[in-house]
Amino acid sequence: MKNLYVIAIFSLLLSACAQPGVYVGTHMPRTKKVEVFHSAGEVKRHYHVIGRLVERNYNDDLMVKQVAFDAKKVGGDAVIIIGVDASITGRADRVSADVIKYE
């Protein structure tokens, strides 16, 4: 029983570390699936950018999951991770991504 409490507390602490990103753009109905790309050349369908998302730069797995989760909330079909660039985000510990909607 004690182990269950330790696991529950650890899970809550871990989930509290992942903060939602800052999104600027159009909000649409929530989507169920979001694809993640690392360049616009990877996207094989016609699309348009509906907004920009800026997230904390966690390790790759957590950052990708957080970007996808936040893109689902705003109605994106996919995200194109632009990368860590202080000239875009204003801070070196942030990553930016374009949220896209398929046509």
Average pLDDT of span 54-78: 88
Which pLDDT belongs to residue 9?
Answer: 59
Q: What is the 8-class DSSP label of residue 52?
A: E
Q: How many Å is the Cα radius of gyration of the chain? A: 15
Domain boundaries, the chain: 20-102
Q: What is the pLDDT averaged over residues 18-40?
A: 89
In 3D space, the residue among 100, 46, 42, 95 whose CA is nearest the CA of residue 75 turns out to be 100
Cβ atoms within 10 Å, residue 77? 20
The reported pTM is 0.75
The pLDDT of residue 77 is 97
What is the three-class DSSP state of 34? Answer: coil
Over 80: is that where the pLDDT of 1 sits? Answer: no
Of the options 3.30.110, 3.20.20, 1.10.357, 3.40.1580, the CATH number for the domain spanning 20-102: 3.30.110
Which has more pLDDT, 86 or 12? Answer: 86
Please give the pLDDT value at position 71. Answer: 95
- In the chain, the largest separation of any two C-alpha atoms, in whole Å, equals 52
